[in-house]
Structure 1
Amino acid sequence: MRYLEITVPEGKRRAVLDILEDEGIDYVVSDETSGRGYTAVVRFPVPTRAVEPVLDRLRRAGISDESSVVVINAETVISEQFATLRDQYSHGGQKGARTSRQVLRTKADELTPPFTIYTVMLLISAVVATAGLLADSPAVVIGAMVIAPLLGPALAANVGIVTGDDRLKATGFVYQLVGVTMVVVASIGLAVLARIAGLEPAGVDIVVATELGERVSPNLFSLAVALGAGIAGILSLTRGFSEAIVGVMIAAALIPPSAAVGITVAWGMYGAAVGAAVLVIVNLLSINLAALATLWVAGYRPQGLFEVSPSRTPTYTYAAIFGIGLLVLAAPLAGVTLLDFHTTELESSADDEVESVLNESEYDHLEAAAVAVELDGDYPIQSVDQVVVTVTGQDPGPEPGLADRLYEAIEPHSDESLVIEVQYVVAEQRGGETEIQQVADRSSSDS
């Protein structure tokens, strides 16, 4: 429920009161004596659903932006006439409270902090996220998501589009672009300092060391987080759910990948940086597309019937830009997804074949310990490099012909050339201590 207080311009008093009476609204009117061109102040309670249509009618009657309109949350209204009005706006008995367009603009604007605060909070978030990724600490990365103020800009841009508010739209997009750029630049600086300080030695595979793989080589499932964040963000804004939790979800889609761009650039792994950058762009597009579609489906439009058509064109234009961008960038993501499926299938098939070969009588003294498919590390779209089979046994030396035998069994399950590496792990007792010996044997199409 909402309680409205509106200043009525000269000459509009009768028109305003006629609209309120026609709507069945119980109002209180008092004279306005400030001498500023207003004749009265009218106050009345309405159901939340009624705020937008009532304000639209009043606007067409002459209540312009120069008039003062205050919308206040009301705890309860005890009135038989209000109960009738609430039933009138319940739409089939459902008394759900969709936020009005006017309140929606205000909430989106309030969720966008002043630029100085925004940049400071994002810089802190970037430092924390980069440190968390370098330290391989999920808890620290989550902390970076909590403090990132990204919800407001993501929602403001799309609220501005569908309601025709150019200022809100421009603010939202500028904040998003500046914010992501700041996180990337700050992450590069911190990662470079980490390398210089020797906190992470140069020459290591930083992607493997910090488990950045899912962020530098993203697949199609990465879209789910961003699309869900965009939809949930709008629902939280329009239905009164917790914005803080949704803000963390949006930050989860943008902060870690942006920090991953900076880390991989600092390590000179530009292919991995491209993969992380693609994920950042895809998530930005997904969040905005999902938010825009949700707002449009929910029925948010600019003021008045005659402004719907002009708003439809820019909304469709932005939706097309977001959608085409996603389709273009979905190609490499689809390639990574297919590779993931192929790797999983190859590993399962290789595991079965290894078990079958080692069940042969001549290999009774060997036992399979692990089967792993390793990729070549050529980010962002990798390929299968080799299949590593780890076996245990009493003899520390390679088993003659085993690598070739495994190659013959596994190779038909792959469409590309394979390298099969067999690692022999032998445990020996020496002086009361266990000593592990590891010997490798390889086989490929060139051997």
Structure 2
Amino acid sequence: MLHLRLITPPDRTEAVTEVIEATVGTTHLVVLPGAARDPQGDLVLCDVAREAGDELLHELRALGIDQDGSIAVENIDLSLSKRAEQAEEEAPGEPADAVIWEQLTEATHEESTLTVTYTAFMILATMIAACGVVLDSAVLIVGAMAVGPEFGPLAGVCTGLVQRRPALAARSLAALLIGFAAAIAATTVFSLLMDQAGLFSRQMLDNGRPNTSFVWQPDPFSLVVAVLAGAAGMLSLTSAKSGALVGVAISVTTVPAAANAAVALSYGEYAQMWGSAEQLLLNLGGIMLAGTLTLIAGKALWRTQRGRWKRQRPLSRS
């Protein structure tokens, strides 16, 4: 379930409580008149089944509570309440299938902002992958995939397109492109330094590398895996099953392809560099395509669910 903490202007508290009481799947409603100081207003608390959360947030925003007050949402890990169980049973659908669009937009906004930390993770992941491709180590490649933060901006692009928020899509795309550009540039310098130290060599790059040669030799499976990973990644975000993101992170070759491009560039191996660039663009494009289509399908399901809630409302509460 979700816990909502609202600060409401006193003249709208009654309307807010009516909306909460009319929404299928809500419970534990508490109203504390005049409890809020900044901004001034009434404090309203309630719990709502995840399936009904997006509908309730939509109604609250329609009342302008997000403009003149506050709406805070928290996940409830444990709720020992018979009434909470009843509320979840009343709400149509399953919690894992529910999409909280405001929560998704906020999460992708945070993960898709170009920051020093994001860029550092991108550079470090690409350097780790560079060691992996030169040593032909699948373990290092998998580790680099898990460290790479690129799925946040990819999800931000998809969310921005589907939600028609061009600013979010543009910011996410900028973070993605700048992040990879910085990582490739830094890893190229890193490769040159490793060569000077005698740890990298052109021969190591030109060897057969049976475990890692796929990062610069794209084939139809590259697109297939990217599409499947993009769909799985967006489902993990919208259903709050974030653990699945680890599997998504290690299933696509974005960071390793960027690393191989950087190492190949440092040695003037342009065939490998362009092959790696093609692999990188193919994976990014496949993930964004699948992620966008997955969100479109989720939005269509949300509209259907919303219509069902409206039809059930008159019967839900007396």
TM-score (norm 1): 0.60
- Conserved 8 A contact 2:233-2:245: no
Match of 1:306 in 2: none
- Tell me the CA shift for residue 249 of structure 1: 2.6
Secondary structure in 2 matching 1:173: helix
The AA in structure 1 aligned to 2:75 is N
- Tell me the CA shift for residue 51 of structure 1: 0.8
Match of 1:248 in 2: 249
How many angstroms apart in 2 are the aligned matches of 1:61 and 1:298? 25
- Conserved 8 A contact 2:35-2:43: no
Q: Number of residues paired by the alignment?
A: 298
For residues 157 and 131 of structure 1, do their structure 2 counterparts lie closer, same or farther at Cα, with a shift above 3 Å needed? same
Match of 1:117 in 2: 117
- Conserved 8 A contact 2:54-2:100: yes
Match of 1:281 in 2: 281
Match of 2:205 in 1: 206
For residues 188 and 114 of structure 1, do their structure 2 counterparts lie closer, same or farther at Cα, with a shift above 3 Å needed? closer
Q: Which runs of 5+ in 2 are unaligned?
A: 304-318
Q: Does 1:2 align with 2:13?
A: no
Larger radius of gyration: 1
- Tell me the CA shift for residue 220 of structure 1: 0.8
Q: Which runs of 5+ in 1 are unaligned?
A: 304-447
- Of structures 1 and 2, the one with the larger relative CO (CA 8 A, separation 6+) is 2
Match of 1:324 in 2: none
Q: Please, which of 76, 80, 94 is the counterpart of residue 79 of structure 2?
A: 76
For residues 37 and 185 of structure 1, do their structure 2 counterparts lie closer, same or farther at Cα, with a shift above 3 Å needed? closer
For residues 195 and 33 of structure 1, do their structure 2 counterparts lie closer, same or farther at Cα, with a shift above 3 Å needed? closer
Counterparts of 1:269-418 in structure 2, within 5 Å, are: 269-299=269-299
How many angstroms apart in 2 are the aligned matches of 1:129 and 1:21? 53
TM-score (norm 2): 0.82
- Tell me the CA shift for residue 84 of structure 1: 4.6
- Conserved 8 A contact 1:90-1:96: no
- Tell me the CA shift for residue 287 of structure 1: 1.0
- Tell me the CA shift for residue 98 of structure 1: 1.9
Match of 2:192 in 1: 192
The AA in structure 2 aligned to 1:236 is S
How many angstroms apart in 1 are the aligned matches of 2:96 and 2:204? 53
Of 15-24 and 213-222, the range deviating more from structure 2: 15-24
How many angstroms apart in 2 are the aligned matches of 1:178 and 1:266? 19
- Conserved 8 A contact 1:108-1:237: no
For residues 96 and 258 of structure 1, do their structure 2 counterparts lie closer, same or farther at Cα, with a shift above 3 Å needed? closer
- Tell me the CA shift for residue 243 of structure 1: 5.0
Secondary structure in 2 matching 1:206: helix
Match of 1:49 in 2: 51
- Tell me the CA shift for residue 266 of structure 1: 2.2
Higher strand share: 1
The AA in structure 1 aligned to 2:53 is V
- Tell me the CA shift for residue 198 of structure 1: 4.8
How many angstroms apart in 1 are the aligned matches of 2:168 and 2:201? 45
- Tell me the CA shift for residue 103 of structure 1: 1.7
- Tell me the CA shift for residue 219 of structure 1: 0.8
Counterparts of 1:113-152 in structure 2, within 5 Å, are: 115-152=115-152
Match of 1:344 in 2: none
For residues 84 and 136 of structure 1, do their structure 2 counterparts lie closer, same or farther at Cα, with a shift above 3 Å needed? closer
Of 33-42 and 252-261, the range deviating more from structure 2: 33-42
- Tell me the CA shift for residue 247 of structure 1: 5.3
For residues 244 and 36 of structure 1, do their structure 2 counterparts lie closer, same or farther at Cα, with a shift above 3 Å needed? closer
- Tell me the CA shift for residue 50 of structure 1: 0.7
Cα RMSD (Å) of the superposition?
Answer: 2.8
For residues 39 and 113 of structure 1, do their structure 2 counterparts lie closer, same or farther at Cα, with a shift above 3 Å needed? closer
Higher helix share: 2
Match of 2:314 in 1: none
- Tell me the CA shift for residue 254 of structure 1: 0.5
How many angstroms apart in 2 are the aligned matches of 1:113 and 1:105? 12
For residues 230 and 33 of structure 1, do their structure 2 counterparts lie closer, same or farther at Cα, with a shift above 3 Å needed? same
Give CA deviations for 1:385-412 in whole Å, capped at 9, x if unaligned.
Answer: xxxxxxxxxxxxxxxxxxxxxxxxxxxx
For residues 243 and 116 of structure 1, do their structure 2 counterparts lie closer, same or farther at Cα, with a shift above 3 Å needed? farther
Secondary structure in 1 matching 2:11: coil
Give CA deviations for 1:60-82 in whole Å, capped at 9, x if unaligned.
Answer: 233233421111222225244x4
Give CA deviations for 1:25-46 in whole Å, capped at 9, x if unaligned.
Answer: 4421111255656442211111
For residues 215 and 270 of structure 1, do their structure 2 counterparts lie closer, same or farther at Cα, with a shift above 3 Å needed? same
For residues 296 and 267 of structure 1, do their structure 2 counterparts lie closer, same or farther at Cα, with a shift above 3 Å needed? same
For residues 19 and 34 of structure 1, do their structure 2 counterparts lie closer, same or farther at Cα, with a shift above 3 Å needed? closer
Give CA deviations for 1:263-288 in whole Å, capped at 9, x if unaligned.
Answer: 22222222222111111111111111
Of 188-197 and 39-48, the range deviating more from structure 2: 188-197
Secondary structure in 2 matching 1:31: strand
Secondary structure in 2 matching 1:268: coil
Match of 1:63 in 2: 65
The AA in structure 1 aligned to 2:264 is T
- Tell me the CA shift for residue 196 of structure 1: 4.3
Secondary structure in 2 matching 1:295: helix
For residues 205 and 124 of structure 1, do their structure 2 counterparts lie closer, same or farther at Cα, with a shift above 3 Å needed? closer
For residues 89 and 210 of structure 1, do their structure 2 counterparts lie closer, same or farther at Cα, with a shift above 3 Å needed? same
- Tell me the CA shift for residue 102 of structure 1: 1.7
Match of 2:233 in 1: 233
- Conserved 8 A contact 1:48-1:97: no
- Tell me the CA shift for residue 54 of structure 1: 0.9
- Conserved 8 A contact 1:230-1:291: yes
